[in-house]
Structure 1
Amino acid sequence: MNPASWRFRSARLAYNLLIHALIPIALLHFLWRSGREPGYRRHLDERLGAGPNPDPGPDLWIHAASLGEMRVAGILLDALCRKHPSLRIQLTTLTPAGRAEAERMRAAGLPVAVRYLPLDSPALLRHFIRRLKPGILVLIETELWPNLLWRIHRAGIPAVLVNGRLSPRLRNTYRRLQALYAPLLATLEWAAAQTPEDAEHLHSIGARKVAVTGNLKFDLPSGRNESALARAHFSGRWLWVAGSTHPGEEEQLLDVHRRLRDAHPEIRIQLLLAPRHPSRAPEILDQVGRAGLSAVLRSRLSASGSSEDVIVLDTLGELAGLYALADAAFVGGSLVDHGGQNPLEPIAADCPVIVGPDSRNFADMVRRLVADGAIVQIADAEGLRDVLEDLLLTPGHGAAMVHQAQRTIAANRGATARTLELLRPLLRSPGSAGQ
């Protein structure tokens, strides 16, 4: 199958008819989301390819959908800019959380410009790409937008996929739409997959040159501290963090915390609860009250700290640093049908980690960590309570988990170096595109 085939042309026509019908709905969705997350209202013009003109001729254009993908981009950028300090880089994203992380990277001194990716309309992307004129497009993990791939190909700009992974849901989607995706994936210079299984699936749906480079997230720096809070802000003797939680989990976690606290009144135990979407913090405060516990929002925490049972995180960018203050961490999205969140962030903070039964989004990583004894996977909330109690009463078990986790991470590092080696032949002389 090739881009000239009638099947591809028909599939692209159908997709474009659908995407143009969905653009007004997408804009209304952003406005609706802005009621809880004001960031969705800001820079709305960029979603339509408008806003300030981008600086033309960046050496790299890196697109990362949201916070997790942008952190992967940050790992790559840190290494890339050490080797090539004069690079110019355009970052695009889809969410306010991704944009906030990109802005943090810029504030930290990385040579990046930041904006939202235009919606996947052929006209919007054609106009944006003509203005931007990047040297290379780097897509992070799963960002395979059909018109983005098509317009970048038509512009003669090489595109690559970094840290590629395909969840079971995405595999099924791409296979159903193979008439559209196979010719587009074939236009990639190469795709770097996290695992041999990901590589096999990428190849089966159309990617021609696929390499297994490993998971860039294993190269996350250890011990990062991005929070202004210190352990002294928490009056409890024992602190556990429930990070990146989703609806349906908080009630279970609060019940676990209440039972743990009541069983050990001699040990002052506190919970820092960090919803995946901080805009849900007021809703979670209500849940805490109904559970018979006291709570405070992190944004309202006094300088002297907190004695409440639960601190609800309602800020962005602090969770990684707060893991470093905790005695144990539960990684959310895994007690409900969501697929789980990335367990490596609390591991990098030297924190014992527990995940729930649904870890399909990071299945290979979790299997490896569980097999090594680096993390614990529980079957349900009752299992979570048992593991937390064990870590509470036997601190040596947590220390052993942390030690083994660091050994597992060390054994799986190197994806960054392998990815940079693939990128090296594509890197032009910095700044040449604008000449």
Structure 2
Amino acid sequence: MSRMLARLALSSYRWIGTAIYPFVWSYLAARAAKGKEDGTRRQERYGHASAPRPQGPLVWFHAASVGETTAVIPLIKEVSRRGIAIVLTTGTKTSARVAAERLGPSIIHQYVPLDFKPAVSRFLDYWEPDLAIIAESEIWPMTMVELGQRHIPQVLVNGRLSDRTFGRWKKRPWLADALFENLALVIAQSELDADRFRTLGALPVMVSGNLKVDTDAPPHDGNALKHYRQQIRDRKTWAAISTFEGEENAAGIVHRALKERTGLLTIIVPRHPERCDAIEAMLNAKGLTVARRTRNDPITPETDIFLGDTIGEMGLYLRMTEVAFVGRSLFAEGGQNPLEPAMLGCAILSGGNVQNFRDTYQMLAKNGSAKIIRDVEMLAKGVNYLLINDEVRRKMIDAGLETVHEMRGALSATIRGLEPYINPLTVKARLQPRGDN
């Protein structure tokens, strides 16, 4: 009965997708108008290639956005080093930019095809991947079914399932089983994630740790950092990063409470920069003076808030401070990745809603490098305490760096898990050197 339900659901998904496929152009056009799609490469979303397929074996990597792309870059480099061609798909303009900056012409980037049969089939017909490697929790039914029908191995790396996502799949075990059985291997971030994937029907499953720990620290513009440090001089700074609605207001409250005592500069980096006009207006209404990165505003002694309204410059913002509050944790749920501030020498504060990064926060908190706060008042006290206690702040920073070092090893574990799939392609690549058709 469950098999029949799954077939019916997937068949319905396919036919509904086929029916609305001709009208998807208006959706993509609207996204392009908002700057969320690359209008010049929109055909890639329909599965049309914009680059020639190289000869020889090819691995398709898919990473949804910036975080996932950054996590798999070392793995992509390792596979590419073996002479295997790579096509990397992502879903956002920002992740495409990150791929271009950090991988250059060594790989082919395409925007991921929409999860409709015509687009997916066209993509697979052209690229003919020997292996598909998917990052974290990107589960697209039509793509998984099409890969399965073509007997192309699918491996999920750095796999994780949030509480919410796992709960949704558990309500439809018959559908989860029909999809997850297509995965040749799941390499999960943690034992909890591994157990969840097994519950949903994935086999085999192994644990590697978090690939994001094995990435390099976020890059930065050295000239820009020197420029801002000269302007900041000896002012105390703290940063509220990856913030969601309500958390910028909290940062403003903290700043007003502390600035008279500390001469404070507050750095705010919203998760979605398109909200920055509204954020600036809100901060101005509080009587706070705002400088913005995109305007190249100078940081003067009168500047209260430096608004990091760019994408891909977290390495710059975090190097401007030693205290970081990580958002989506106080007034939103799920949390954001705390590893980057830990790597870059920041004492970490966070709200309690960090379900998506529970294991990472537990390790950081256990080692004394992260503190969980309950509300805005506690955030203000935590920021003030860390700014005026150099020894405590330094101990938290050192503990964070040590924790990151202890957590490393996911890349080598992932490569070991992939060897049965990668090694034959390595041999094939040596027999048939890469080249354009």
TM-score higher than 0.5: yes
Confirm or deny: 8 A CA contact 1:43 1:51 kept in the other structure.
no
Unaligned runs of 5+ in 2: none
2:317 corresponding residue in structure 1? 322
Amino acid at match of 1:104: E
Q: Does 1:368 align with 2:363?
A: yes
Change (3 A) 1:346 1:29: farther
Distance 2:27 2:407 in 1: 40
1:391 corresponding residue in structure 2? 386
Distance 2:392 2:138 in 1: 39
SS in 2 for 1:138: strand
Distance 2:54 2:120 in 1: 15
Distance 1:311 1:27 in 2: 38
Confirm or deny: 8 A CA contact 1:99 1:114 kept in the other structure.
yes
Distance 2:145 2:418 in 1: 21
Query: 1:291-310 alignment to 2 at 5 Å?
Result: 291-302=286-297, 305-307=299-301, 308-310=303-305
Q: Does 1:216 align with 2:221?
A: no
Confirm or deny: 8 A CA contact 1:142 1:164 kept in the other structure.
yes
Which residue, out of 234, 237, 240, partners 2:235?
A: 237
Q: Deviations over 1:170-225 (max 9, x none)?
A: 11222233323312211212100111111111011110100011111222334743
Change (3 A) 1:338 1:41: farther
Change (3 A) 1:249 1:9: same
SS in 2 for 1:240: strand
1:145 corresponding residue in structure 2? 140
Amino acid at match of 1:145: W
1:259 corresponding residue in structure 2? 257
Amino acid at match of 1:286: A
SS in 2 for 1:120: coil
How far the C-alpha of 1:137 sits from its partner, in A, is: 0.6
RMSD between superposed Cα atoms in Å: 2.4
Confirm or deny: 8 A CA contact 2:218 2:314 kept in the other structure.
no
Confirm or deny: 8 A CA contact 2:73 2:103 kept in the other structure.
no
SS in 1 for 2:335: coil
Confirm or deny: 8 A CA contact 1:196 1:212 kept in the other structure.
yes
Change (3 A) 1:53 1:179: farther
**How many residues are matched?**
425
Amino acid at match of 1:200: D
How far the C-alpha of 1:323 sits from its partner, in A, is: 0.6
Share of identical aligned residues, percent?
A: 30
Query: 1:68-217 alignment to 2 at 5 Å?
Result: 68-81=67-80, 84=81, 86-107=83-104, 111-217=106-212
Change (3 A) 1:137 1:38: closer
Amino acid at match of 1:100: R
Confirm or deny: 8 A CA contact 1:236 1:269 kept in the other structure.
no
Change (3 A) 1:172 1:32: same
How far the C-alpha of 1:43 sits from its partner, in A, is: 2.2
Moved more, 188-197 or 307-316: 307-316
Distance 2:25 2:237 in 1: 41
Confirm or deny: 8 A CA contact 1:331 1:343 kept in the other structure.
yes
Change (3 A) 1:212 1:55: same
How far the C-alpha of 1:381 sits from its partner, in A, is: 1.2
Moved more, 96-105 or 382-391: 96-105
1:63 corresponding residue in structure 2? 62
Unaligned runs of 5+ in 1: none
